[in-house]
Amino acid sequence: MRGLSGKPRLKQGLFLACALTASFGLASCSDIGNSIDSLFGSDDEAAANAAPPDTGGADQAPPAPVAAAPAAGGVPVATITPVTIEPGADTGTAVNKTIQTVRNQVAGLEGKLAASAQRLSDLRNGGASAAGAYQLSKAQITTRLQVGTTKGNPELVAQWNSAQTSLDSLSANINALNALGTDIANDSSTAHFALDQIGATFNVSGAVDEDHRQLSLLQDETSQTLVMIDRLLSEVSDAVQRQTAYVANERGSLGVLASAIKDGELYGGTPGITQAAASGGTQLASAGAPLVVIRFDQPNVDYQQILYAALNQALQSRPNAGFEVIAVSPTRGNAASVQIAQTAAARYAQQVMRSMTSMGVPATRMAVGSATDPGAAGSEVRVFVR
């Protein structure tokens, strides 16, 4: 790879700084470019004064295209500058025929490298756009739930569907990134094979000194190409990991929002929710006791808020925690009354489990049981951490 002269290197650094500061109004890219030209002269002048490179009589191959920079406001991508593959004179030997074949293969990789870098830039910008649309829909839903709204508000349902569509676009973006990673990995294999072939060609008899000079140059260019390919592959891998984790996390958030829209209130979003829920028949138990105790001693017990808060706190401390939902019934009264109380407690336990599922707790991490308690005044559901 050719080194940068003083002016291109300075301009590259200042343009990168400009891209980072332009959104804050700290600098103007055109002002920076004009300042550099006033110090060093314009690019046209530099090109006019530059001496043509010595190619040993052969025509200079055009440089491979450089990956386009992302548009203003886009996601920055690592700079990928394809290597210029220098041509060489045909010496007429069989070794030189092999050199020309390998050189064409490596030159083809340079073009694919630039195209892959552009694909990565487009995919990352597309992912950022989808994530922005998703966050906007989510924020609008959260705001409406925060200030209070009706149960099952159709406007919020439409916004939820829009958020779901944006998240699906992110999933499709991940699939495209995986496909791009596969293509780049194939290019890496091709470059490694070319490098091995170059090394083997050094030992083939019948070569002249010029052949070995071209082989050495091509070996360096192929090694530099591999560095660029590996860097691009690393960028793709990082993007896949980030987006996959983001989508997985937001799928759970969407499930919670769906349940919140159904109830018309934001889970975990109201100050003082612990006291409000406790007064309505739900309480947090002390250490060593059940995580949550929900007393169904009145119609329409509002337990979702405190249940969500308790589950969230438990999972933050123990991300892999499981939960046991116990239906507790009193033992007072005759046999028929006890049986009725047990049936009601079991029904309430199933209701709580459905709420937990909508809040993002997998069914595989929940178990249900039943018990009686002579001290219970009515049907209860107790949630334990296991």
What would the DSSP string read from start to end of 240-288? HHHHHHHHHHHHHHHHHHHHHHHHTS-TT-STTHHHHHHHTTEEEPPTT
Is 1 within the bounds of a domain?
yes
Joined tokens for residue 55: 């190619």
Q: What is the pLDDT of residue 286?
A: 39
Asked whether residue 221 is domain-assigned, the answer is yes
Residue 223 counted as domain residue: yes
pLDDT band at 299, cuts 50/70/90? confident
**Interatomic CA distance for residues 340 and 275, integer angstroms:** 31
Tens-digit pLDDT profile for residues 208-261: 999 999 999 999 999 989 989 998 998 999 999 899 888 888 887 888 888 889
- pTM of this prediction? 0.56
Q: Are residues 98 and 216 in the same domain?
A: yes
For residue 180, pLDDT beyond 90 = yes
For 267, list phi and psi in degrees, rounded to 5.
-70, 130
**pLDDT in the model for residue 252:** 78
Distances in whole angstroms, Cα of residue 111 to Cα of each of 43, 67, 120, 287, 347: 25, 10, 14, 64, 65
Phi first, then psi, for residue 4 (nearest 5°) are -90, 140
Residues 351 and 261 sit within 8 Å (Cβ to Cβ)? no
Question: Which residue from 174, 180, 172, 170 is spatially nearest to 234, judged by alpha carbons?
Answer: 180
Residues of the chain with pLDDT > 90: what percent?
33
From CA 350, how far away is CA 379, in angstroms rounded? 13
Of 10, 37, 58, which one is at a domain's C-terminal end?
58
Q: Which domain holds residue 195?
A: 92-266
307 — pLDDT class (breaks 50, 70, 90) = confident
Calpha distance 168→374 (Å, rounded): 51
pLDDT digits (tens, 9 = 90+) for 24-51: 344 444 443 444 344 344 444 444 444 4
Residue 258 and residue 296 in one domain:
no
CB burial of residue 67 (10 Å; 0-12, 13-18, 19+): buried
Cα separation, 199 vs 201, whole angstroms: 6
Four-residue CA torsion sign, 288, 292, 295, 296? negative
- 38, 137: one domain: no
- Copy the structure tokens of residue 267: 């889970």
Residue 44 and residue 1 in one domain: yes
With respect to residue 72, please indicate whether it lies within any of the assigned structural domains: no
As a whole number, mean pLDDT of residues 332-349 equals: 86
Q: How does residue 288 score in pLDDT terms, banded at 50, 70 and 90?
A: low
Q: What is the pLDDT of residue 376?
A: 86
More confident residue, 79 or 207: 207
Q: Are residues 142 and 216 in the same domain?
A: yes
Strand partners, 367: 324
Q: Which of 124, 133, 128 is nearest to 165 (CA)?
A: 133
Query: Do 225 and 166 fall into the same domain?
Result: yes
Query: Of 211, 231, 266, which residue constitutes the final position of a domain?
Result: 266
Tokens 């439409």: give the residue: 158
CB of 117 closer than 8 Å to CB of 67: yes
Question: Within this chain, do residues 209 and 328 fall inside the same structural domain, yes or no?
Answer: no
The number of folded domains in the chain is 3
In a domain, residue 49? The reply is yes
Maximum Cα interatomic distance, the chain, rounded to a whole number of Å: 108
Same domain, 116 and 235: yes
207: domain CATH number is 1.20.58
From 211, 239, 266, the end of a domain falls on 266
Question: One-letter amino acid identity for 199?
Answer: G
Residue 64 lies in a domain: no
Q: Could you tell me the pLDDT band of residue 75, with boundaries at 50, 70 and 90?
A: low
Same domain? 219 vs 330: no
Residue 143 lies in a domain: yes
To which H or E segment does residue 371 belong? strand 366-372
The CATH number for 337's domain is 3.30.1330.60
Looking at the structure, tell me whether residues 106 and 244 fall in a common domain: yes
203 and 123 in a common domain:
yes
298 within a domain of the structure (yes/no): yes
Question: Both 259 and 299 in a single domain?
Answer: no
